[in-house]
């Protein structure tokens, strides 16, 4: 049996987007539409977010504001079309759309919003161990 020394990883976190991408895939299979289309339809109809999507057109690209990575360099990796479905960090939005999203999140009386704010489980301090390869 191999032993793994976890002391070197204390305070380091590594995140995976596998669950988000899997959910995006399931939605495409259930509704028979690309995830970007489902996202745009849902946000337009329910929240009034008219400029939130995964893939940008050539006419939209000049207006895209790039962020910065951990080295303080322009991060362009999230702009290119996603190799998977795009539900894990490839969504692009405008400030007015983000304000509409914040307003939606403050409407706690909506069942779907209340459910999204529900604490599902507690994690003890000793369970914050994350392995990465």
Query: Per residue in 45-86, pLDDT tens?
Result: 888 999 999 888 889 888 888 888 788 888 776 666 556 788
Q: Residue 66, CB half-sphere, CA atoms under 13 Å: how many?
A: 12
Residues 6+ apart with CB under 8 A from 89: 17, 20, 78
Q: Which domain holds residue 114?
A: 18-119
Query: How far apart, in whole angstroms, are the C-alpha atoms of residue 53 and residue 72?
Result: 25
Report residue 89's pLDDT band, with 50, 70 and 90 as the boundaries: confident
- Per the structure, the count of domains in the chain is 1
- What's the pTM? 0.68
Higher confidence at residue 10 or residue 25? 25
Q: Residue 54: inside a domain, yes or no? A: yes
Query: How far apart, in whole angstroms, are the C-alpha atoms of residue 126 and residue 15?
Result: 17
Backbone angles phi, psi at 81, to 5 degrees: -55, 140
Q: Residue 133: inside a domain, yes or no? A: no
Say if residues 54 and 86 touch (Cβ distance below 8 Å). yes
Q: Residue 9: inside a domain, yes or no? A: no
């Amino acid at each position: 049996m191999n032993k793994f020394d976890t002391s070197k990883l204390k305070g380091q976190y590594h995140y995976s987007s596998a669950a988000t991408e899997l959910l995006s895939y399931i939605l495409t299979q259930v509704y028979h539409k690309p995830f970007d289309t489902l996202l745009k339809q849902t946000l337009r109809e329910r929240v009034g977010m008219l400029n939130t999507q995964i893939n940008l057109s050539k006419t939209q690209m000049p207006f895209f504001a790039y962020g910065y990575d951990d080295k303080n360099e322009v991060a362009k990796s999230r702009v290119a079309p996603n190799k998977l479905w795009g539900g894990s960090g490839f969504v692009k939005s405008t400030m007015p759309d983000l304000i509409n999203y914040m307003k939606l999140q403050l409407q706690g009386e909506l069942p779907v919003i209340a459910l999204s704010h529900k604490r599902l489980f507690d994690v003890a301090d000793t369970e914050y161990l994350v392995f990465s390869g």
